[in-house]
A and B are shown apart, each in its own frame.
Chain A
Amino acid sequence: MNKKIKNRRHKSLKHSGGGRIGKPGESSVKYLIVGAGPAAIAAIEAIRKRDKRGAITIVSSEKEVFYSRPLISYLLADDIGEENLFYRGEDFISANAPLRIIAGAPASSINPRDKTAAIAYGRVLKWEKLIIASGGVPIVPPAILGAKNLRTFTTIEDARRLDADIKSGAKRAVVVGGGFIGLKCAEALVKRGVSVTLVELAMHVLPSLLDDVSAGIFQKNLERHGVSVRTLSSVEKIYDGGKKLKLSGGEVIETDIIISAVGVRPNVSFLEGSLIRMGKGVIVGDDMRSSADGVFAAGDAADVPEFFSGARRAVPIWPVARQTGAIAGENAAGGAARAAGALTMNSIEVFGLAVISAGSVNPSPDSGTAFLDGAAVETADGLADLPDGTPRYKKLVFDGGGRLAGFIMLGDVERAGIYTELIKNRASVAAFKRDLAGDSFGFICVGEENWKKRIMPLEV
């Protein structure tokens, strides 16, 4: 990260810590939103479609609001400057007025009966509708807790801190966790000249996105770019305040920094004592209403109905945050919108190797989701490498009803959305399975009755 990061802070979207609430008597708002990420932004936009005047207040623990957290790896890698981190432009606040932002001041408690929220520095806000879009906070395994060189990689501050570490001479890093965040962090660190050891507890990296074949290819690519990967491993013990650590296999590694990237949990500790019904996050229905009147939740902070089972659980991905945020906003403003079940999907590219996966990719008979009537797994692996030598792999998973339930595309990810849409539609694709699995599948494979109405001019 270069000087861009320090000198070019985004002017209108940065707010001084614990911003003003205003004069007494003004501390009552129609909509209070906790959080300032994709779900919160979607909620603001949805509210404004129905209610042009109702006052909206945003409370955020961070000083920067409305930026995109997944972009911090690009920032750390020096691929983009800090000005490119913001998801909405400078006119977003004025376009959605009256919109007040209280940044750098986390919510500390919520009282749904009085419809009040306490925020840092002892202020209390009264609200009519509350949307909890507070996102997630990183999990830190107990074994590395307390290390002096422990870092996380979730926020812009985390990226700045790692940047400072590198500038003050950090040369070696251990990234604990081989999921999305861990891999993007490892990639950025390598690009900055840091040597990285990646420690993953599961059999392979990206355990929820990939099967063992695709993960093998992915891992080889990581190693080719200098990342030392240790799977089936965890950190057992730290010494010297974290400068040295012992892995479960006995190996001892010396490092300058440790990054905990084992995942996030819903950021909902401020809801303790609120009596709002909680799972790991706030439990909501498909209308994003919680158990408390006037209280909605969306994004990573919510346990939402999952696509296959309808069971409430966190599906912490960007498109779900946007979708659930929009539903929460619309319904808070008097609407009656309902979300389709949240389908897990991910797209990630590390060291030039892209992979997209969605739905059920490692089906087991007892998964209790798509495979109640017997799993039928068909794979189309072993595809030839791309002309430039990029490896390629594809796997389609069909359920017993002949419906597409999941897929992995590695190397060549183009047209992946055709599969995603087929999963969402839950229609039987048994008749054109072979075409779909083929190398040159296309939109025409979805069947004439499906493509006709989408591409042809309307008959008058």
Chain B
Amino acid sequence: MKKIYAKPEYCMACRLCEIACFVKHSKSKKIIKAFREERGEFQARIIVEQSGPVSFALQCRHCEDAGCIEACLTGAMTRNPDGAVVCDENKCVGCWSCIMVCPYGVINHDRRRKKIAAKCDLCPDKNTPACVEACPNEALVYE
């Protein structure tokens, strides 16, 4: 299974990956509209981590031993046939058990429809995830 990896030595902490992820998961898919109308309702599913001069972008690692799947009270969090860990937004009730156990802290809230857990879905309708595409310095790779 292909995953997104980070190369901290190339990351400039420009956060364009966060913006690309936010726009990709917005309703309008348009940067200004998404910013105006949906900001605060949900967040990017990628986080730029920064400590002094070091930075990298982090999103769901699609763990082989995924604690979020086990902690989920509803069965919403599952592994799809490709191996990606995905959250069924219709089943999720927002109990945040996945947030309680995710060792990377990369599951957050999405309040747009009802309160549910949101995480990286590897952009299933794209060949290359939006964050990887947006990175101007190849600090994110999909391989």
Which residues does A use to contact B, with CB under 8 Å?
Answer: 42, 68, 70-71, 74, 79-80, 84, 86-89, 318-319, 322-323, 345-349, 354, 356, 358, 413-418, 420-421, 435, 442-445, 448, 451, 454-457
Contact = CB atoms under 8 A, between A and B. Distances in A.
Contact of A417 (B47, B50, B54, B104): B104
B58 interface: yes
B100 A345 contact: yes
Given A420-B103, A443-B58, A454-B104, 5 more contacts: A319-B70, A345-B100, A435-B51, A443-B104, A456-B7
Given A349-B94, A442-B105, A84 B6 contact: no
Nearest to B52: A444
A74 to B, nearest CB: 5
A421 B108 CA distance: 17
A417 B105 contact: yes
Interface residues of B, number: 42
Interface stretch (B25-33, B71-79, B120-128): B71-79
A84 B100 contact: no
A454 B95 CA distance: 27
Interface in B92-128: 93-109, 114-115
B21 to A, nearest CB: 16
B73 A71 contact: yes
18 contacts: A42-B70, A68-B73, A71-B73, A71-B93, A89-B75, A319-B97, A347-B95, A348-B95, A356-B96, A415-B105, A417-B98, A420-B101, A420-B103, A435-B51, A442-B49, A443-B47, A443-B58, A444-B54
B100 A358 contact: yes
B56 A80 contact: no
A347 B99 contact: yes
Contacts of A319: 67, 70-71, 97, 101
B91 A347 contact: no
Contacts of A451: 49, 56
A319 B55 CA distance: 32
B73 to A, nearest CB: 5
B47 A84 contact: no
9 nearest A-B residue pairs (beta carbon):
A415-B105, A421-B103, A417-B102, A444-B49, A457-B5, A87-B75, A322-B70, A347-B100, A418-B105
Given A416-B99, A443-B105, A454-B61, A448 B93 contact: no
Given A84-B91, A455-B6, A455-B58, A418 B104 contact: yes
A416 B99 CA distance: 6
Contacts of B104: 417-418, 443, 454
A84 B106 CA distance: 25
Contacts of A418: 102-105
B96 A443 contact: no
